Amino acid sequence: MAGRLAGKVAVITGAASGIGRGTVELFVREGAKVVGADLQDDKGARMAEELGDAFRYIRCDVTSEADIKAAIDLAVSTWGRIDALYNNAGTGGAMETAEDVTAEGFDSVMHLHIRAALFGMKYAVPHMKAAGGGSIISTASVAGLQNGFGPILYSIAKAGIVHMTKVAAAQLGPHNIRVNAICPGLIATAIFGTSLGLGRQAADTTVDAIAKSAGSAQPIPRGGLPADIAEAALYLASDGSGFVTGHALVVDGGITVGPTGGEAFAPIMQAMGIDMDALAALQPGKA
């Protein structure tokens, strides 16, 4: 059924690539007006040309409170309201262990994920209250649910998003504002490449290989795609999920009930042409 977001206005962070871009395109197809927030201005400009009047791009560093507020304000000043906020921006983080973490690394990861999502809520909620309700969605991860799917700081941050979702859902439910999270599994995006230190352009070239290989790491024998997460976000943003709040929706092809830990990621690393022994030797404390 088309038009599931007809008349609704959404703000999506991390909107210019991967899961964010897939979600923007689906939301627009389903009738929403969307503000896409990102730092990839070239991609954002092309999206604005392709999507037309239903889309606005804004440069936004989600570690900046002022930038987050500006993205929310743009939606309200352009279309008079905000019905859905998707806190999606994030990166995979460095492959550190507990003994390797730094204060700077901790602050960077927590600000990018937890702080950004919380301040997104802060600035969206007053407008949602005025409109009589809304939906807030944040990208968490299977790494926030169990061990073995990410480095320690990233995993802590994603677990924090899951719990923050529950607390905020309890606080905002009386205002008809629903708060949910999505926990992706192995989704074919550039996040794996960037977490290994590849530049954005180089990381983009690894996506096809990830999509082809990821199916061997989980019960459903295909790689996860941004469209899979976009469909979950569409459900949570739509009225069809009107009785769903405080939920962490797992979209992972069954990986959390299948292979775990390093075994799950090995096929992806190999598909990216990474020598696993060489990678292990580069990790802090392994030399």
Average confidence score pLDDT of the chain = 88
Per-residue pLDDT band for 128 (boundaries 50, 70, 90) equals very high
Indicate the angle between helix axes 226-237 and 18-29, nearest 10 degrees: 50
Q: Which domains does the chain have, with CATH numbers?
A: 9-282 (3.40.50.720)
Give the residue, 93 or 49, on which the prediction is more confident: 49
Report the C-alpha gap between 132 and 108 in whole angstroms.
Answer: 35
Tell me, yes or no, if 154 is annotated catalytic. Answer: yes
Per-residue pLDDT band for 278 (boundaries 50, 70, 90) equals low
Question: Among 57, 86, 123, 154, which one carries the catalytic annotation?
Answer: 154
Q: Give residue-wise pLDDT tens across range 174-227.
A: 999 999 999 999 888 755 545 545 455 554 555 666 666 666 778 888 889 999
Report the C-alpha gap between 265 and 24 in whole angstroms.
Answer: 28
Per-residue pLDDT band for 118 (boundaries 50, 70, 90) equals very high
Q: What is the pTM of this model?
A: 0.84
Q: Quick check: 266 pLDDT over 90?
A: no
Cα-only R_g, the chain: 18
Q: What residues contact residue 75 under an 8 Å CB cut-off, 6+ apart?
A: 9, 10, 11, 33, 35, 56, 81, 82
Q: Give residue-wise pLDDT tens across range 1-57.
A: 569 999 999 999 999 999 999 999 999 999 999 999 999 999 999 999 999 999 999
For the segment 153-165, the average pLDDT, to the nearest whole number, is 97
For the segment 150-154, the average pLDDT, to the nearest whole number, is 94
C-alpha of 281 from chain center: 30
Q: Quick check: 154 pLDDT over 50?
A: yes
For the segment 249-265, the average pLDDT, to the nearest whole number, is 77
Ranges 160-164, 223-227, 264-268, most confident: 160-164
Contact 80, 134 (CB under 8 A): no
Q: Flag the least confident range among 40-54, 101-115, 124-138, 270-284.
A: 270-284
Closest CA to 111 of 156, 152, 63: 63
Question: Which pLDDT does position 182 carry in this prediction?
Answer: 98
For the segment 238-258, the average pLDDT, to the nearest whole number, is 95
- Beta strand spans in the chain (E): 9-13, 33-38, 55-59, 84-87, 134-139, 177-184, 248-251
For the segment 165-179, the average pLDDT, to the nearest whole number, is 98
Question: Which pLDDT does position 252 carry in this prediction?
Answer: 93
Q: Which two tokens stand for residue 152?
A: 């320690």
Question: Which pLDDT does position 273 carry in this prediction?
Answer: 78
Question: Which pLDDT does position 202 carry in this prediction?
Answer: 52
Question: Which pLDDT does position 219 carry in this prediction?
Answer: 86
Q: In percent, how much of the chain has pLDDT > 70?
A: 82
For the segment 237-246, the average pLDDT, to the nearest whole number, is 98
Strands in 248-251's sheet, in edge-to-edge order, are 55-59, 33-38, 9-13, 84-87, 134-139, 177-184, 248-251
Exposed / middle / buried, residue 58 (Cβ in 10 Å: 0-12, 13-18, 19+): buried
Report the C-alpha gap between 58 and 67 in whole angstroms.
Answer: 9
C-alpha of 8 from chain center: 20
Q: Flag the least confident range among 93-102, 119-128, 138-147, 191-200.
A: 191-200
